Amino acid sequence: MIETDRLILRCWEPRDAAPFAALNADPEVMEHLGGPIVRAQSDAVIARIEAAQASNGHCFWAVECKADGAMIGFCGLHRPDHAGTSVEGEVEIGWRLARTAWGRGYALEAARASLAWGWKNTDLARIAAWTVPANVRSWGLMERLGMVRRPELDFAHPAFGPGHPLSRHIVYMAERPG
């Protein structure tokens, strides 16, 4: 679907379920996302992602390494349901990679390709990203993508109760290039 020098971003395939479940079971990968999840929960995530692709024409696509065909995570564009928050209705760029893929520039490569796809294939004025303040790797990538921090849009994530360490989310935006 989307090719970069080293990666293919594509629709999900049955063979992706096991490696995706493995990365979702990794406490380090899931540290800022609510903790590890079991296989059934991971499979449910894939089902929701596939439904988003069917209804929106985009989703968090599976990321595959060209060199060895390994599925290393996801990256893409998603329209979450965060009703009542400052990001309600926004399209989010997001990523989640296996720990073995960290530090190789894959997330930046996949995210740049996802943003380019978004600008070419949608009429979006902007694309958002958010994470918890402690997720330095993620917001650092947002900055490397040229996204701008928007503190006035920070919000309490609806999946976490007040006072939970993962409740507060910071927001970055990429505006459509001129």
Q: Kindly list the structural domains of the chain, giving each domain's residue range(s) and its CATH number in brackets, ordered by start.
A: 2-175 (3.40.630.30)
On whether the CB atoms of residues 12 and 62 are closer than 8 A, the answer is yes
* CB-based burial, 73-101: b 16+ in 10 Å, e otherwise: bbbbbbebebeebbbeebbbbbbbbbeeb
Nearest to 130 by CA among 73, 74, 80, 59: 80
User: How far apart, in whole angstroms, are the C-alpha atoms of residue 142 and residue 111?
Assistant: 9
How high is the pLDDT of residue 101?
97
Report pLDDT for 83: 85
For position 5, what pLDDT does the model report?
Answer: 98
pLDDT of residue 84: 86
Give the per-residue pLDDT at 59.
96
Q: Tell me, what's the pLDDT at 169?
A: 96
Tokens of 27: 């406490």
> pTM value?
0.95
pLDDT in 10s for each residue of the chain, 178 residues: 899 999 999 999 999 999 999 999 999 999 999 999 999 999 999 999 999 999 999 999 999 999 999 999 999 999 988 888 999 999 999 999 999 999 999 999 999 999 999 999 999 999 999 999 999 999 999 999 999 999 999 999 999 998 899 999 999 999 999 8
pLDDT at 178: 84
Q: What is the DSSP string of 17-59?
A: HHHHHHHHT-TTTTTTTTS---HHHHHHHHHHHHHHHHHHS--
**pLDDT, position 81:** 84
pLDDT at 102: 97
